[in-house]
Amino acid sequence: MSYLAESDPEVYDIIEMERSRQINGLELIASENVVSRPVLEAVGSIMTNKYAEGYPGKRYYGGCMYHDMVEDLARDRLCKLYGAEHANVQAVSGSQANQAVYFAYMEHNDLMMSQDLAQGGHLSHGSPVNITGKWYSVSHYGVDTESETLDYAAIAEQARKQKPKMIVCGASAYPRTIDFKAFKEIAEEVGAYCMADIAHIAGLIAGGEHPTSVGVTDFTTTTTHKTLRGPRGGAIMCNEEDAKAIDKSVFPGMQGGPLMHVIAGKAVCFGEALKPEFKDYAKQIVKNSRAMAGTLIEEGLDLVSGGTDNHLILLDLTNLGITGLEAENALGDAGITVNKNTIPRETRSPFVTSGLRIGTPAVTSRGMKEDEMKQIAHFIGRVLKDKDNTQLKAEIKAEVKTLSSGYSLYPDAVC
């Protein structure tokens, strides 16, 4: 960072403050992680200098031979990782990946069925405030009122009545296993396409901790920066017969030149996920999530669906009489970063909410295990039950810093 410190100390200082926040605090946002040093190096590499509009072997600019090589490597590794026939790694985000699939196979006002945002879905699955909700007709399904889990029989009945063009499955705040085969069977019955958005659980699938959607649903989209532990970006996997339509939808349909430095980082990420130790990492994420969930229950907190099967926990704060926003701010004061989140039967604004989403990928990347998760859960319980106690939050922040000091982000680096 010496060049930046000398040339632009203002930006350097901001980055240093963020570095300190990450090192001394606990990152429990379910959609965040800690990339490896090799991923950081690839994303910060000279690959950022090149415009490589198009695809390998068919670029619109000269001098792309090495960019062809790294993109081919990323595609091949992603296909190997999931057993996919074809992969597109140019999508700059998960939302762009989703939009590319819709754009390839749906027309304006065609009907899609997807999980309601307030009950665990995602903005890019047809939320009315998102372009997908404005461009397509959308029918949302939710979770069962009692179990707070997906009711596949009810989803099937809804599909039979409404005959959607596309059924979208996958979620951003659903703590249970998703049955992709059930969704595909529903889609086949009503003649719909089926797209799985595995952004949150991509790393768990790669590590064998969640059933795969690849080869089951028609299309699988993902981000690369959540449980997969790569750079921020998106990807799409599909059968070979859909490859041309998907690639054309991404470019020139949805975006221009790809971010080749990020694609280099994706190649590194996929290579890391192909190593045997990644399975241990994925397994530990789930062990940590379950350990934390059990301790939160001991603390008297309510968990949506009563627990978790994956990397995230969704707290229902109703019994505490506090909002998700209040909880997020209070935990933030104690050095614990989480995010407010809507819950089933939500009555508050998405900017306030009645819930809290907690995830274990980032702290697992730092090397923490079950005992640390139990300790963190006790921190959370103490803060949430006495959120206005300034002294308590300061004490816990000091304890968080002590805990974090034993689990360095990058032991051999200053960044």
Contact 115, 121 (CB under 8 A): yes
Confirm whether 21 is a catalytic residue.
Answer: no
Binding positions for (6S)-5,6,7,8-tetrahydrofolate? 117, 121-123, 240, 349-351
Report d(CA 288, CA 296) in Å as an integer.
Answer: 12
- Which residue, chain included where needed, has tokens 């490589």? 52
Catalytic position from the list 217, 220, 223, 323 = 223
Report d(CA 101, CA 372) in Å as an integer.
Answer: 40
Confirm whether 174 is a catalytic residue.
Answer: no
Please give the structure tokens belonging to residue 11: 């930006």
Report d(CA 36, CA 13) in Å as an integer.
Answer: 22
Catalytic position from the list 27, 71, 116, 197 = 197
Beta-bridge partner residues of 195:
168, 219
Confirm whether 53 is a catalytic residue.
Answer: yes
Confirm whether 68 is a catalytic residue.
Answer: no
Catalytic position from the list 184, 232, 382, 397 = 232
Confirm whether 280 is a catalytic residue.
Answer: no
Confirm whether 102 is a catalytic residue.
Answer: no
227 DSSP assignment: T
Catalytic position from the list 16, 32, 37, 51 = 51
Catalytic position from the list 75, 226, 290, 397 = 226
Report d(CA 152, CA 165) in Å as an integer.
Answer: 18
Catalytic position from the list 53, 72, 185, 399 = 53
Report d(CA 38, CA 67) in Å as an integer.
Answer: 18
Q: What are phi and psi of 192, to 5 degrees?
A: -105, 155
Classified as helix, coil or strand, 355 is: strand
Q: Which residues contact 239 (CB under 8 A, 6 or more apart)?
A: 85, 86, 218
Q: What are phi and psi of 138, to 5 degrees?
A: -135, 135
Binding positions? 117, 121-123, 240, 349-351
Contact 235, 91 (CB under 8 A): yes
> Any idea which residues carry the catalytic annotation?
51, 53, 197, 223, 226, 232
